[in-house]
Amino acid sequence: MTALPKAELHVHLEGTLEPEDLARFARRNGLTLPWPTAGELRAAYSFTGLEDFLAVYFAGCRVLRTREDFHDLTAAYLRRAAGQGVRRAEMLFGPQVFLDHGVGLEAQLGGITDAIAEAREQSGIDGALLVSAHRHRREADALELLDLVRPWREHVLGVGLGGAERGNPPSKFARYFAAARAEGYRTTCHAGEEGPAAYIREALEVCRVERIDHGYTATDDPGLVARLADEQVTLTLCPLSNLRLHVTEDLAAYPLRALMDAGVPVTVNSDDPSYFGGYVNENYAAVTEALGLTGDEVEVLVRNSFTGSFAPPEEIRAARLSGA
């Protein structure tokens, strides 16, 4: 699996914070954690669902305070990704929680973009940043986030929307996505993880996003599946995440192959790998074993990861010519 060059399109930088690094950052910043050891923190990674996970996730975010922290977090993920054959990583990042803690964007985005530039030079991995708003907040907060990141426009490829879906439909953020499009951002939206297939429709029809993060529940609506195939809308599936959060109870019943057979361009990604037990290759391995995917099917998934990316067309062509 490592030998296959691939792109990762759905990974949250905050979700790559390994317990050992979380503890190290806490010590560096003089903070006390609810979990005395990294082992006890790992033991807390047993989730009943998305909201249970988010409580631990946001608690972990508190240790990231300085430019050095955000640099080290990003550099660590990009090293691991490059070691797994990832040539392009489109990383989601949610500044709002850190702004709440008094951490400015200079520290956040400065550290991240420094690490992206270094990794491109040292490892050849192409990192790209997508800023994500939290859907449990007001749309006004998401619009404010766009204003705040404007000075960083040349470093931010696109915008997304993440967080707990229930009670927070994509349509709540229609103006946010319209404003993002007007500024030239690429757009993606979490939909159809714990939310219904109707949320995927909303993301496409009301918010007019280019890509759907997750999209697991799409198969509940055959008409939607046909549309995703006709319009070649990429879904960024996250098998281990869906398993650990009980979106699915068995990867043998995972809809990835059904979506592939219907012509939908699906991809395999890690979401929040530190919390869910695997980076991108572990996700490929898990779903390949559970569904009995053939080598040709895995190669289709890898190709989709590049063609579904927001890379310039010439870079996508170069990646495919190089064996992807």
Summarize pLDDT for 259-313 with one digit per residue, the tens: 999 999 999 999 999 999 999 999 999 999 999 999 999 999 999 999 999 999 8
Residue 195 lies in a domain: yes
Residue 254 lies in a domain: yes
Is 246 within 8 Å of 49 (Cβ atoms)? yes
Total number of domains constituting the chain: 1
Q: Which of 8, 14, 193, 202 is catalytic?
A: 193
Residue 121 lies in a domain: yes
Residue 183 lies in a domain: yes
Amino acid 33: pLDDT: 82
Amino acid 25: pLDDT: 93
What is the CATH classification number for the domain harbouring 77? 3.20.20.140
Amino acid 319: pLDDT: 67
The segments of the chain whose pLDDT lies below 70 read 1-2, 319-324
Summarize pLDDT for 73-88 with one digit per residue, the tens: 999 999 999 999 999 9
Amino acid 49: pLDDT: 77
Amino acid 40: pLDDT: 82
d(CA 125, CA 81) in angstroms, rounded, equals 8
Residue 1 lies in a domain: no
Expressed as residue numbers, the domain containing 66 is: 6-321
Residue 180 lies in a domain: yes
For the question of residue 193 being annotated catalytic, the response is yes
